Amino acid sequence: MASVNVPDGLRYTKDHEWAKNEAGKVRVGVTAFAVEQLGDITLVELPKVGTKVEAGKTFGTVESVKTLSDLYAPLSGTVVAVNDDLASHPEYVNDGAYDKGWMVVIEASDASQLDALLDPEAYKKHLAESDH
């Protein structure tokens, strides 16, 4: 899995979500590794703007042809933006996991939560360890 794209400047969860700090607000999506595991994504269920999410709890689902996978919030806060394009274009997640496939923007209840997430090196290590 060494070839999987893990961009610098993002934070990661062991459940394969990424989180990007944008001036206090945090953009969230799933990693290229998650996309590779899921295959062709056909349905993305996301919360509405204003929904409160809790770190480690599910905030939505991603379905591929084969399977359904929960999305886990990397941090607690309130959803302030949702990528509505994914309703009609779930394939955006396959095409651009780190850009047009973003899922929500969360206003963190406490911005320091980001520091508790994995940095790119730690996430790569996590991928290497779980690759059997």
1 binds another protein (CB under 8 A): no
Contact residues for 88 (Cβ-Cβ < 8 A; gap 6+): none
What residue has token string 């290497």? Answer: 128
Is the Cβ of residue 40 or residue 99 nearer to another protein in the bound state? Answer: 40
Identify residues 12-41 at the interface with another protein (CB under 8 A): 39-40
Burial (CB < 10 A; 0-12, 13-18, 19+), residue 74, is buried
Least distance from another protein to the Cβ atom of residue 43, Å: 6
Binding mask 60-79 for another protein (x = CB under 8 A): -x-xxxx-x-----------
Identify residues 82-121 at the interface with another protein (CB under 8 A): 87
Strand ranges inside the chain, DSSP E: 11-12, 17-22, 25-30, 41-45, 52-53, 58-64, 68-72, 77-82, 104-108
Least distance from another protein to the Cβ atom of residue 3, Å: 16
Amino acid at 111: A
The residues that touch another protein, with contacts defined as CB under 8 A, are 39-40, 42-43, 61, 63-66, 68, 87
